[in-house]
Amino acid sequence: MCGRFVQTQEAENYGAYFSVDVVQTDEVLKSWNVAPTKQVYAVAEHGGDRLLGTFGWGLVPFWAKDRKIGSRLINARIETAGVKPAFRDSFAARRCIVPADGFYEWEPKDRGKLPHYFYATDQRPLALAGLWASWDDPESGDRVRTCTIVTGKPSDVVSPIHDRMPVILPESAWGPWLDPDNRDSDGIRDLVASLPVPDLSEHAVSTLVNRVANDVPDLIKPLESGVV
């Protein structure tokens, strides 16, 4: 799964990197410890334009009675996203990209779990495959946009630590993934299955990342040189 990630660049930087047409976001604070339900930047296509917008992390389907369900829908498995009721509509036509500087996974240890930080070897942002949804809050009347991160099989770098990882899209896949007119679910799964293995680096980090309240740059430092 993907339960925490890093998103620390300005909206304009992510917008330029992902060649968006419009940046239309609320303020999102830099975070070295993005947790579920937090507001995040994501890229989606709407009305022929590629947009960078703000979404709550944890997908709330349009049919949900309240938004609490989002805290349980932070990840969607690529193998089943096209058929599960919570995700199938979004998988068909509302796919997005969640920019990330890196993400965390936890290695089982005798005395708990040790977090590891994964990031692109070339230090560029990662394009995490996502799905988004729009939900009308019956109490406030507000329209709420939320997203989930799609996960798949781990690469050789991730597999010693965890049996799942976010699906990471190379630039060649951004267009087909984002295209809302591409409703071929089997084709989308085939696209993901044929993606090249992402070039990732990783290192162990402090268990301070385990607490959401801790959100400082030191969290991504290698364990031997970072905070204890």
- Which residues participate in catalysis according to the annotation? 2, 105
The 3-state secondary structure of 173-196 reads HHHHHHCCCCCCHHHHHHHHHCCC
- The DSSP line for 63-111 is T-SSGGGGGG-SEEETTTTTTSTTTHHHHHH-EEEEEESEEEEEEEETT
Q: Please name which of 12, 1, 47 lies closest in space to residue 164, comparing C-alpha atoms.
A: 1
What are the two backbone dihedrals, phi and then psi, of residue 217, each rounded to the nearest 5 degrees?
A: -60, -30
Q: Determine contact, residues 28/9, Cβ cutoff 8 Å.
A: no
Contacts of 69 (CB under 8 A, 6+ apart): 60, 61, 86
Contacts of 123 (CB under 8 A, 6+ apart): none
